[in-house]
Amino acid sequence: MYNFKNEFWAFIPARSGSKGLKNKNIKPIKGKPLIYYSLAIALKTQGIKKTIFSSDSSKYIKIAKKFGCKNFHYRSNKISHDNASEYSVFRDYVDLQIKKNKPLPKYFVHLRPTSPMRKKILLKKQSGFSKIREIIHQ
């Protein structure tokens, strides 16, 4: 049995091959690329120990680095096509960590770049993320 760390890690998947809107995930909104908002929330939320940015694009990874992200999941083409499920991306990351004998958290917080407004829930001082953790640990 794998020994999971009792931690929450944010996981932000952003593939580059969006069919409808090209490069949707880095399209600017209020002057910042879309992925910035999820990265900033993850990096600022107390209780999220690590932020993993997952992409098939070196350009996206470079942008994520610029905004302070330090952990990356380089996605293969196999899990970056239109029909790749969210599950397959998480599973790939988890399998890679296990293969390399690297740590894994007990929980992943999935933050989709396409929902940039989520300040109230995660950063609110009185409740926010601590409330979420409380419920999960009950």
Partner 1 sequence: MRSANVMSNPAYRTNRIVNGKLCGIVDKNFNIDAFCKPRHFFQDTYKCGPIFDIYKTKNILKGYLWGNKVLPYIIQDIYNDIDTIEDFDLVEYYMKKFKYKI
- State the residues that interact with partner 1 by CB under 8 A: 2, 4, 8, 20-21, 24, 27, 29-30, 34, 37, 40-41, 44, 86-87, 90-91, 94, 104-112, 114-123, 132, 135-136
Residue 33's contacts (CB-CB under 8 Å, 6 or more residues apart) are 25, 26, 27, 63
| Shortest spacing between CB 117 and partner 1, in angstroms | 5
Number of H helices and number of E strands within the chain? 5, 6
| Shortest spacing between CB 83 and partner 1, in angstroms | 16
Q: Residue 24 has what DSSP assignment?
A: G
Task: Compute the distance between CA of residue 137 and CA of residue 24 in angstroms, rounded to an integer.
Answer: 36
Tell me the DSSP string of 63-81.
HHHHTT--EEEE--GGGSS
Task: Compute the distance between CA of residue 132 and CA of residue 126 in angstroms, rounded to an integer.
Answer: 12
| Shortest spacing between CB 125 and partner 1, in angstroms | 14
